Structures are given as C-alpha cells and as structure tokens.
Amino acid sequence: MFWNYFEKEAAPHLGLREVSFRKVFQYLDSFDSREPILIVETGCIRTAGNWIGDGQSTLMFDRYLQDRTGGGRCFAIDIDPEATTECRAMVSEATTLFTGDSVSVLRDLSSSLSLSSPPIALLYLDSFDLDWENPTPSAVHHLKELVSIYQWLTPTTLVVVDDSPTIVVGASSMTGDFQPVRKARVGGKGQYVAEYASQVGAQLLFSHYQAGWFGFR
C-alpha cells in the first residue's frame, strides 16, 4: 500500500529528493515488519503540498508507519508553533509533534526513552533553513542534533540530512574541461555530520541531494 502511494503521489513531486527518499524507505523495509520502529525527525511539514520546498517528509513517514504491519512512532520537532499546528492536522496518531528548539527537545527525548522503546530506525535532520552562501550555522546545528540523541542510535539507525548535495571544487583546464582539485564531499546542512561520520567509521549509504549514513555506533 505505501509503495503505491509513494510511486503515484509522492515520487512524481519530489524532484531532487526522489532518489534518496526511495532509498530511505527501502532501508526501512529491511527492518522486521512485525516489530515497531521509531522515526525521529527535526523540522516538519509547513505547508500542505509543498513537495519541492520541504519534501513533505512528515506526511510520508506517517503514511509509511500507518501501512507497516508492526507499526511504529514518528516524533517530529519544529521550533515554529504554526508549523506544528499545521502538521498535526495532516498526520495520524502515529506521529507526535513537539514544539521547541530541536537540540533541547532531542535531549529531553533522550532522557525519556528507555530500553523498551522501539529502536530508532531513522533520524532525519532538517530543522534549520540553509543559507547556501553561509552554510555553517545550519551544518553546526545538525551536528548538535546528532549529538543530542546519539546515545539512542544503534548500528542500524539511518541518519539522513536534507539539503546536503555533493560539493566539488575544481577549475577549467586549457581545453575548457572541468578538473576537480579536491575530493568530492558532502556539503550544505550535512557538512559536519559527514566529517564526523568519516571520523567514527559510519558507512555512507547514499549521497544525492540528501545524504544518509548508518553505523554511527
């Protein structure tokens, strides 16, 4: 049921995010479908139908959990009360909305989770709008989010950061060909999460407009 929804209603509108969201849900399908899972998202739907702007991720996560045999929960966090109010009207009881700074709320969630809680299958980071001319504030914020919930990650938790395209630095040659001068890297919101992932040996699952890793722990 979910995949029919994804192919007909979501994928045609996702643009650059289509390939990575497809890989996200394929990854979630690898978990035992009889057992509940937990999705934790920072940022949420702001406007219904705004697929290109915010990807409608909360709506897709909610729909995925509704159609999943073992069910699960989605915790979505946004600092804007208008956003969480709008989002609450668009999702089911499978999704719980929190209003507040994502770093603080994730820290509180970390304190309230227990060993009996479903494992975090997906941590989706997308709470701080990206300034392409100055990506550092957003990239730092998303690294803080990762740290705030880190103790509840498992080896199979997929960590995904939105707005994190591959950055290539290069120059034109005498013939006009583009020649890279440094190795391609994840940029945008995911820059510092990517650097940390490399240092701790997390495995990059995909790098498109969004980037995703597992094995942080």
pLDDT in tens, 143-158: 999 999 999 999 999 9
What gap in Å lies between CA 89 and CA 91, rounded to an integer? 6
| Domains of the chain by start residue, with CATH | 2-214 (3.40.50.150)
pLDDT in tens, 27-50: 999 999 999 999 999 999 887 777
Neighbours of 14 (CB within 10 A): 20
pLDDT range class, residue 169, cuts 50, 70, 90: low
* Sheet with 158-161: strands ordered across: 95-99, 72-78, 37-42, 120-125, 158-161, 211-214, 203-207
What gap in Å lies between CA 93 and CA 216, rounded to an integer? 30
pLDDT in tens, 40-93: 999 998 877 777 777 789 999 999 999 999 999 999 999 999 999 999 999 999
Taking alpha carbons only, the member of 109, 90, 9 closest to residue 46 is 90
